[in-house]
Amino acid sequence: MDKTITLLDPTAELEAPDRTLLPRLGSLEGKTIGLLDISKPRGKEFLDEVERQLLALGLDLEIKRYQKPTFTRVAPLQLVQQISVDCDALIEGLAD
Amino acid sequence: MERTQSKQPNEANQSELSAPSAEFEYALFVKKDCPTCALLEPVFEQLQQNLGPALAIFSQDDASFPSAVSNPIDDTALEHSYKAKIEFVPTLIKRQNGVESGRVYGWDKQQWREFTQFDALAADSSLPEFRPGCGSKTLEPGMEEQLQLRYEQDKLKARKLLANADDDLIETCYEKGWSDGLPVVPPTPIRVLRMLNATECAADEIIGLVPPDRAPCSVEKVAINAVLAGCTPEYFPVVLATVRAALQDPFCMHGLLCTTYFSSPVVIVNGPAARLIGMNSGINALGQGNRANATIGRALQLVIRNVGGGKPGGIDRATLGSPGKYTFCFSEDESEPSWNSLAMDQGFQRNDSVVSLFAGDGVQAVADQRSRTPESLIGTLSRSLRNVCHNKLFLTADALLILCHEHRRIFMEAGWSKQDVKTALFDALRTPGKDIIRGAGGITEGMPESFADKDVDKFRKQGLHILCAGGKAGFFSAIVGGWAASGERGSQLVSQQITMN
């Protein structure tokens, strides 16, 4: 019984992308932290609170705020590049 | 020389005709089983004497036929006949510089003389002036597909997975995660080849990046998923246009797939293509029972699932979803020439075949069996349309208004155009902002306070699309509410012309 039937793969044949994490920050001391609002309702309130709590840590850190034009699309390349240049870490307010 | 030979198998697939010798100028295809071929044996012999090695004779069913000629080429595997697209025997093909310049088939003495520039052909015989040939062996029932599988499988680039022939292949497809929950048609190479035959597009053409994985999608991958969905090859041009439409940026397929909202693509087909493939625009147009309606919409969903990786619970985060996420596809009734179709509203001509995609939810009924004037009916329709997304949320979700015949007839008999209907609906829906802001009416949901002093339209200017479908009887129209992220910040209705072969 060596009968086989060929089926063609309907998927994109993507192997699970082997993405390694960037090195974790040992401390937030002296770092720049980005806060990204994806333009979902009340994202600003959420990130305001995150900012308040970060600053309350009493560390020497800088906060930068960013906003996506719309939550429905991936961030524009220019914004991604800007964040990667500006920040050591990013916190994203993902959904409402 | 060896290097040249090793290249030939690849090159042969590209050429019009492959043969042992590239030198010949004429190729003759014959079949012993054909009475005309048998009758013409003396002619074939005469041609060979006259043309010598410039004539190659391919025998489809018996390598020793025609017995009167020397060295007929054994084409019982039908490779040469298939690649030369022979439909009849005998067929005589003329080639110049290796490329076909013409062909004759059957037997017409005068025609063959002119074609071969050989006035003495069959001069001494008592052959008839004319005799039809027979069908090529390549066209026997089921044969063409077998030959395609044998000689064209190399154009299939998708990963090949071997299944045990004793297994239930439908279950195999389930196990591999290719199904939307309903059984799929196992995508065997022959089925995919048949699908690809229905388009002029190259199998390896990349038509775009499918979200959410942004995976490059070839025409072949669309064909495989069209097979899974249960499409027939004649639907494939419509499926291809549908996928292309979904990948247009304004449609925002990525966000539409990810959203917690209900919406997914609603596929509307206009123009001759819809009628040619037998789509349903009439009774139960939005329902079950028509293969084209059912499988074209499903094929798009399966492309998103399988190529794009968009699966419920994964990137698809819909809170409730909608039955339309299996398939939501229909054609518009275009029987009334005085009303523009949806495609015409998008700038196409009535004779264009067009697929349009709308990011929509389920079907909301609008029953009105009493109104007989446009004004009364506008009242009914506008009150129902106001509920799209939320009674107090305006300029948020677009909508499709699918008028039934009975309702459209009321407008038409009063001399109203579609634009008249749209204008009246906008007027009827325009609402003082104070009535719909947050907190108004004791309901926290609503428009921001900044709208309080404005008169607010329910829909953005391009946010209401009116079309017609359904059976001739019944005063029941339908609203399909749009995504809560409609318009430039999310999804807009997109259209794509269908290229029929």
CB B321 within 8 A of CB B262: yes
Residue B8 has pLDDT above 50, yes or no: no
pLDDT digits (tens, 9 = 90+) for B277-303: 999 999 999 999 999 999 999 999 999
B281's tokens: 């625009």
Could you tell me the pLDDT band of residue B1, with boundaries at 50, 70 and 90? very low
C-alpha span between B374 and B356 (Å, rounded) = 28
- Looking at CA atoms only, how far is residue B400 from chain A in angstroms? 21
Amino acid at A75: A
Residue B50 DSSP code? H
Amino acid at B109: K
Contact of A74 with chain B, judged by CB distance below 8 Å, is answered with yes
CB B355 within 8 A of CB B495: yes
A3 contacts B166? CB cut-off 8 A: yes
- β A32-37/A62-67 pair status: parallel
The percentage of chain B sitting over the pLDDT mark of 90, rounded to a whole number, equals: 87
pLDDT of residue B7: 32
Question: Hey, of A72, A73, A74, which one would you mutate to test binding to chain B, going by the most B CBs within 10 A of its CB?
Answer: A72
pLDDT of residue A71: 86
pLDDT of residue A16: 45
pLDDT of residue B145: 79
pLDDT of residue A2: 59
Question: What is B124-180 written as a DSSP string?
Answer: SS---SEE--EE-GGGSTTHHHHHHHHHHGGG--SPEEEEETTS-HHHHHHHTT--S
C-alpha span between B258 and B321 (Å, rounded) = 11
The percentage of chain A sitting over the pLDDT mark of 90, rounded to a whole number, equals: 66
Phi/psi for B67 (5° steps) reads -70, -20
Out of A24-28, A70-74, B91-95, B422-426, least confident range: A70-74
Residue B110 has pLDDT above 60, yes or no: yes
Number of separate helices (H) and strands (E) present in chain A: 2, 4
C-alpha span between B105 and B85 (Å, rounded) = 12
Question: Hey, of A5, A39, A68, which one would you mutate to test binding to chain B, going by the most B CBs within 10 A of its CB?
Answer: A5
- Count of other CB atoms within 10 angstroms of residue B427: 11
Residue B23 has pLDDT above 90, yes or no: no
B370's tokens: 């009493």
C-alpha span between B349 and B57 (Å, rounded) = 51
C-alpha span between B434 and B454 (Å, rounded) = 8
C-alpha span between B420 and B395 (Å, rounded) = 20
Residue A12 has pLDDT above 70, yes or no: yes
Contact of B221 with chain A, judged by CB distance below 8 Å, is answered with yes
The percentage of chain B sitting over the pLDDT mark of 70, rounded to a whole number, equals: 95
C-alpha span between B91 and B133 (Å, rounded) = 9
Could you tell me the pLDDT band of residue B12, with boundaries at 50, 70 and 90? very low
Residue B10 has pLDDT above 80, yes or no: no
- Looking at CA atoms only, how far is residue A19 from chain B in angstroms? 14
pLDDT of residue B439: 97
Question: Hey, of B169, B218, B231, B489, which one would you mutate to test binding to chain A, going by the most A CBs within 10 A of its CB?
Answer: B489
Output the pTM of the full model.
0.79
Could you tell me the pLDDT band of residue B476, with boundaries at 50, 70 and 90? very high
B205's tokens: 């053409």
Question: What is A1-31 written as a DSSP string?
Answer: ---EEEEE--S--PPPP-PPPPPPPS--TT-
Q: Once rounded to an integer, what is the mean pLDDT over residues B356-374?
A: 97
C-alpha span between B327 and B212 (Å, rounded) = 19
Contact of B378 with chain A, judged by CB distance below 8 Å, is answered with no
A10 contacts B215? CB cut-off 8 A: no
Could you tell me the pLDDT band of residue B6, with boundaries at 50, 70 and 90? very low
Chain A stretch 1-60, residues whose beta carbon is closer than 8 A to a beta carbon of chain B = 1, 3-14, 39
What end-to-end distance do the CA atoms of chain B give, in Å?
Answer: 41
pLDDT of residue B297: 98
pLDDT of residue B268: 98
pLDDT of residue B397: 97
Backbone conformation region of residue B328, classed left if phi is above 0, alpha if psi is from -120 to 50, else beta: beta
CB B122 within 8 A of CB B43: yes
List of chain A residues whose C-beta atoms are within 8 Å of the C-beta of residue B255: 70-73
Out of A25-29, A43-47, B95-99, least confident range: B95-99
List of chain B residues whose C-beta atoms are within 8 Å of the C-beta of residue A73: 252, 254-255
Mean per-residue pLDDT of chain B: 93
Polymer length in residues for chain A? 96
B489 contacts A72? CB cut-off 8 A: yes
Question: Angle formed by the axes of helices B291-302 and B219-229, to 10°?
Answer: 130
Out of B9-18, B142-151, B475-484, B489-498, least confident range: B9-18
pLDDT of residue B3: 33
B160's tokens: 């090949």
Residues paired with residue B491 on neighbouring β-strands, in sequence order? B486
Tokens 């044998």 -> residue: B150
B98's tokens: 């290796």
pLDDT of residue B15: 41
Could you tell me the pLDDT band of residue B5, with boundaries at 50, 70 and 90? very low
pLDDT of residue A9: 93
Chain B stretch 302-341, residues whose beta carbon is closer than 8 A to a beta carbon of chain A = 302, 306-309
Could you tell me the pLDDT band of residue B208, with boundaries at 50, 70 and 90? very high
Residue B437 DSSP code? B
B483's tokens: 């995504």
Could you tell me the pLDDT band of residue B126, with boundaries at 50, 70 and 90? confident
Residues 6+ apart with CB under 8 A from B183: B170, B173, B174
C-alpha span between B446 and B435 (Å, rounded) = 9
C-alpha span between B438 and A61 (Å, rounded) = 38
The ipTM estimated for the assembled molecules is 0.77
Q: Once rounded to an integer, what is the mean pLDDT over residues B2-28?
A: 49
CB B459 within 8 A of CB B426: yes
CB B197 within 8 A of CB B214: no
C-alpha span between B93 and B55 (Å, rounded) = 10
A71 contacts B161? CB cut-off 8 A: no
What end-to-end distance do the CA atoms of chain A give, in Å?
Answer: 57
Could you tell me the pLDDT band of residue B112, with boundaries at 50, 70 and 90? very high
pLDDT of residue A20: 66
Contact of B187 with chain A, judged by CB distance below 8 Å, is answered with yes
Polymer length in residues for chain B? 501
Number of separate helices (H) and strands (E) present in chain B: 17, 21
Q: Once rounded to an integer, what is the mean pLDDT over residues A23-35?
A: 93
pLDDT of residue A15: 53
B300's tokens: 């798009």
Tokens 């998927």 -> residue: A11
Residue B256 has pLDDT above 70, yes or no: yes
Mean per-residue pLDDT of chain A: 88
Q: Once rounded to an integer, what is the mean pLDDT over residues A36-53?
A: 92
pLDDT of residue B247: 97
pLDDT digits (tens, 9 = 90+) for B315-361: 999 999 999 999 999 999 999 999 999 999 999 999 999 999 999 99
> Residue B235 CA to chain centroid, in angstroms?
4
A61's tokens: 């850190």
C-alpha span between B247 and B261 (Å, rounded) = 20
**Of B16 and B323, which is predicted with more confidence?**
B323
C-alpha span between B31 and B136 (Å, rounded) = 8
pLDDT of residue B452: 97
C-alpha distances (whole Å) from B101 to each of B59, B96, B116, B118 are 21, 6, 12, 17
pLDDT digits (tens, 9 = 90+) for B417-438: 999 999 999 999 999 999 999 9
Which stretches of B54-105 are DSSP H helices?
A: 79-83
